[in-house]
Structure 1
């Protein structure tokens, strides 16, 4: 409790920051640019790299043909080196073990690179501590976690072949993160994995938000109009689209304010009264029990209860209320009931969403259609699902179909389906050629619940001659006196329906050696 109270002291002076989860600096892989136009992570610079002690966490193949994610520890002193490696392994396991990135883990390697910091932890009020990469909070709010030394982080990434996507891991037990060129998260055991999943979505797939109250809505999961959705291939009922699921957001607020028992926080809003149900979303930090806080709408307790697994960390609560709001003015009131939490308990953000009837709004979590999203300026865009995707609700742990397809496309665009090609000459002059493919489909370790496979075609000396006897085989016998041969490998998965750039295809011709 004392560490959070120290963090939040004076939080009333912080500026209001829009957005619900974590800020992101817009970029996909190598997409952020310096002023000279050179991709940021590849740009040459004179800043020396910090010393890195690198350990493997999850390794599925050679660095040269995998997408490599490197945790770079910030705010870990020399005495906390073991803690850093434990924290990094926990995060890597959490996002790949049965959820989120489990489908694409064979394309990924995770590493951890330790550099000692002079001070432990992360900075606040815009002031970094004496750490390797200078992570800090802009105020004290449990939200964005920024870096002061991007050139050092870039040098660290450039110094090793284990870094395609750098992940700055702050030695801090509370909620915070950032997406973009450098993905940022914390060592919070509860919010750290959730934030990492969400921010990697920004960094890898290059998508914007799906939650309300943000600023960037673009990519494979966002549409500016109902007729321009890039996920039409994933519509659950294409014959019913474009049908916008009916909802509205009458209030969103970002107080980022410390609560006290002497005066409740309240704000009024208006409803048209034409919707069937509503939801209150509220995020708070510093709470210890359900008895610490009361949340009311029009004087009626909405039944807020603490998530005991979170402790005093920030958490986002969704409270469904299965009845309509009456037309006219309403008031939300948040009251702190535990005086001992003054100086610690914080109201972060809240919003109310109203929903149409069952005929007007589809609550099926797997339904893919057109759901309105409301920005910080109340501008409406559209997303594929209600609350399925972690780009909207980080605690779900799952991507919607549009995002998982984008994830496959992004990762496969950076690797080859073929890890290695081996040629062995036989005594009769023929050559036995063997392909080593990415460990997908039948080459995965253990059972896999989704449909996927490889289609392999071999070609002889003439590119138009198919060696049909070796169809879908990873080896072929090339006849003597043949100077070259060809091979085409096509990977398919039920999670990809549109591959405009043919990143799921490998086609190459080889000289017989």
Structure 2
């Protein structure tokens, strides 16, 4: 793997104190976040929002290495996946490299990533932390001095959801920006405890074998524009037809007319199944149990084809016409 040295603005101590202020007695702003459970099920948790950070004008220069894990072409004709790590000291970089390798191997073994593996560039940004580990691991209240502030219980903000592993997304994106391009950022925490979270930066426990499935699910959102197919936490949907291709309010499933009745890679048969996009009724998904509903599953036919379509929209060379070979005339 090739290595380059780049620089990134780092927080000064003064900037660390510049958080958004909440008036005394005021309820904190809340947001829904995906929670990934050890049994593969996915839910949503209403979690206090992280305080906003000030801009990089408050930052100093710090160094970070960018390692080329896989480069198959120019970024203009590739999907660039960037890993950043938290809680890895200089002595932990061998572990971090192994974590990145295992997560990429797991992702690229799942269709349609497997078939399009050679259209991905993969980068590893070596973010160095002063201390090993992440906050609230193995027990709540145990804090570590790390570069990206990653921690369970959503950095300690959510008292209900232990496995919600949140990261400072602003910092993670700034480190990821050191790579030639960052179409998707995945933050790995230096922990073997199961955990992860969705968001503009997906997170996963670096040394936990199950946590890699979180990244696959999140790329379904960010690449394919797919909706979640689980039915928590709402009751009945009464809105307009969803824009996402893998959910519909039509109980006939006409949105997937050409697929109806066909077997699907996730083990089901394409046909509307009620319960999707956070609603127990009023919305339908294409199959009983794809990876957009449960980790460890495959994408269903609708999701897989949406991903391939997105690959072709992002990667120009996939749209080049294929010239058939010239067959010599028979004498």
Question: TM-score when scaled to structure 1?
Answer: 0.46
Report the Cα offset of residue 400 of structure 1.
0.7
**Pairs within 5 Å for 1:75-90:** 75-90=87-102
Give the superposition deviation at 1:377.
6.2
SS in structure 2 of the partner of residue 168 of structure 1: strand
Correspondence for 1:385 among 284, 287, 310: 287
Q: Would you say 1:68 and 2:89 are equivalent positions?
A: no
**Counterpart-to-counterpart distance in 1, 2:192 and 2:202:** 17
Give 1:401 deviation, angstroms.
1.0
**Larger RCO (alpha carbons 8 Å, 6+ apart):** 2
Q: Distance in 2 between matches of 1:141 and 1:129?
A: 19
Distance 1:414 1:375 in 2: 25
State the 1:83 CA deviation. Answer: 0.5
1:178 aligns with 2:174: no
Distance 1:197 1:88 in 2: 14
Contact residue 24 and residue 202 of structure 1 kept, 8 A: no
Greater fraction of residues in strand? 1
- The within-5 A match list for 1:279-358 is none
- C-alpha RMSD of matched pairs (Å): 3.6
1:120-145 Cα distance to aligned partner (Å, 9 max, x none): 22223699642221112224745322
SS of 1:413 mapped into structure 2: helix
- Partners of 1:123 and 1:105 lie apart in 2 by 34
Deviations 1:256-285, CA, capped at 9 Å, x for gaps: xxxxxxxxxxxxxxxxxxxxxxxxxxxxxx
Deviations 1:220-239 (A, max 9, x none): 211123256643332226xx
Q: Distance in 2 between matches of 1:374 and 1:194?
A: 20
Residue 256 of structure 2 corresponds to residue 231 of structure 1: yes
More helix by share: 2
Paired residues, number: 267
Match of 1:144 among 164, 183, 196: 164
| Structure 1 residues 22 and 176, CA gap change in structure 2 (3 angstroms) | farther
Secondary structure of the residue aligned to 2:258 is helix
Measured in 1, the distance between the counterparts of 2:34 and 2:179 equals 36
Alpha-carbon distance, 1:152 to partner: 1.6
User: Match of 2:216?
Assistant: 197
- How far apart in 2 are the matches of 1:365 and 1:177? 26
> Following the alignment from structure 1 to structure 2, what is the Cα–Cα distance between the partners of residues 104 and 22?
29
Cα distance change on mapping 1:49 and 1:204 into 2, 3 Å = farther
Query: Aligned pair in 2 of structure 1 residues 200, 376: CA closer, same or farther (>3 Å)?
Result: closer
* In 2: Cα distance, 1:129 partner to 1:218 partner: 42
1:154/1:234 Cα in 2 relative to 1: closer, same or farther (>3 Å)?
same
- Match of 1:55, SS? strand
CA–CA distance in 1 between the matches of 2:219 and 2:61?
Answer: 24
CA contact (8 A) 1:235 1:369 kept: yes
Q: CA deviation at 1:62?
A: 2.4
1:111 is aligned to: 123
Instruction: Note if contact 1:371-1:382 (Cα within 8 Å) is conserved in structure 2.
Output: yes
Partner of 1:134: 149
- TM normalised by structure 2 equals 0.68
Distance 1:377 1:415, change over 3 A: closer
Write the distance in 2 (CA, Å) between the matches of 1:199 and 1:24: 16
In the alignment, what sits opposite 2:42? 21
1:294 aligned partner: none
**Rg (Cα) greater in structure:** 1
Contact persistence 2:132–2:190 (CA under 8 A): yes
Match of 2:227 among 203, 208, 212: 208
Instruction: Tell me by how many angstroms 1:84 deviates.
Output: 0.3
In 2, distance between residues paired with 1:170 and 1:140? 20
State the secondary structure of the residue aligned to 2:68. Answer: strand
Q: What corresponds to 2:183 in structure 1?
A: 164
Which runs of 5 or more structure 1 residues have no equivalent in the other structure?
1-16, 26-34, 36-43, 238-361, 418-437, 441-453, 457-470, 475-513
- Greater shift in the superposed pair: 52-61 or 71-80: 52-61
What's 1:368 paired with? 270
> CA separation in 2, counterparts of 1:67 and 1:232?
30
Supply the distance in 1 between the matched residues of 2:229 and 2:188 (Cα, whole angstroms): 24
- C-alpha change, 1:206 and 1:123, in structure 2 (3 Å) is farther
**In 2 relative to 1, CA 176–23 (structure 1 residues): closer, same or farther, beyond 3 Å?**
farther
Cα 1:183–1:18 change in 2 (3 A) is closer
